[in-house]
C-alpha cells in the first residue's frame, strides 16, 4: 500500500489532558510514516497552558516527553486544514459540527473506528488520580490502534504500526 500524507487534529475540552494524550501517542505511532503531522486543540481551551501533570506523567511512562505542550483554542482554520479531527466525546463532535457544518465529514469520535463503528465517550480525567490518567491513556491508545488500522486499510499509511 502506498503511504500518503495528512494532518490529524486531536480535540478535547481544555487541550490539557485527553487531546495531548492522543496527540503525543499518535505522533509516536506515526513517526515512521513520513508526511503525517499531528496537533491538538480544545473547544474551550485557554491558549498556552501546559499539559496536565497526569498526562505528562502517563506519557513519560511510555517514554514520551509532553513537557513542551501548550494548549490552543480550536479554530475553524485548524479544522479546515486537518484531514481527520479526532474528538474525545460526541459532545465535542456536536459542538464542532454545529459551528462549522460544512466540515462535518472530517470530524470523528476517536473511538468510532472499531469493528462496530460505535463510539464511546472518553471521560475527562482532570483532577483525578494518576491511575485514572493511565486508564484514559489506555482507552485512547486502544482507539488509536483502531484508527491506525483504518488508515492502513484505506492505504493512507503503509501498515498499521
Q: Which residues are catalytic?
A: 12, 18, 124
Residue pointed to by grid coordinates 459551528? 99
Distance CA 113, CA 29 (A): 16
- Exposure class string for 69-105: b at 16+ Cβ within 10 A, else e: bebbebeeebbeebebbbbbbeebbebbbeebeeeee
End-to-end CA distance of the chain: 14
Q: At what angle do helices 18-30 and 53-60 cross, to 10 degrees?
A: 30
- Exposure class string for 3-28: b at 16+ Cβ within 10 A, else e: bbebbbbbbbbbbbbbbbbbbbbbbb
Amino acid at each position: 500500500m502506498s503511504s500518503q500524507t495528512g494532518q490529524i487534529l486531536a480535540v478535547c475540552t481544555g487541550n490539557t489532558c485527553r487531546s495531548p494524550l492522543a496527540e503525543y501517542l499518535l505522533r509516536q505511532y506515526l513517526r515512521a510514516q513520513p508526511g503525517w503531522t499531528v496537533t491538538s486543540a480544545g473547544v474551550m481551551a485557554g491558549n498556552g497552558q501546559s499539559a496536565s501533570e497526569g498526562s505528562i506523567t502517563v506519557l513519560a511512562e511510555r517514554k514520551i516527553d509532553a513537557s513542551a505542550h501548550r494548549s490552543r483554542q480550536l479554530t475553524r482554520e485548524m479544522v479546515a486544514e486537518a484531514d481527520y479531527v479526532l474528538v474525545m466525546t460526541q459532545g465535542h463532535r456536536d459542538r464542532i459540527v454545529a459551528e462549522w457544518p460544512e466540515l462535518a465529514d472530517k470530524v470523528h469520535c476517536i473511538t468510532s473506528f472499531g469493528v462496530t463503528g460505535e463510539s464511546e465517550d472518553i471521560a475527562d480525567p482532570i483532577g483525578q488520580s494518576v491511575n485514572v490518567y493511565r486508564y484514559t491513556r489506555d482507552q485512547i491508545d486502544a482507539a488509536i490502534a483502531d484508527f491506525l488500522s483504518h488508515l492502513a486499510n484505506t492505504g493512507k499509511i503503509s501498515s498499521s504500526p
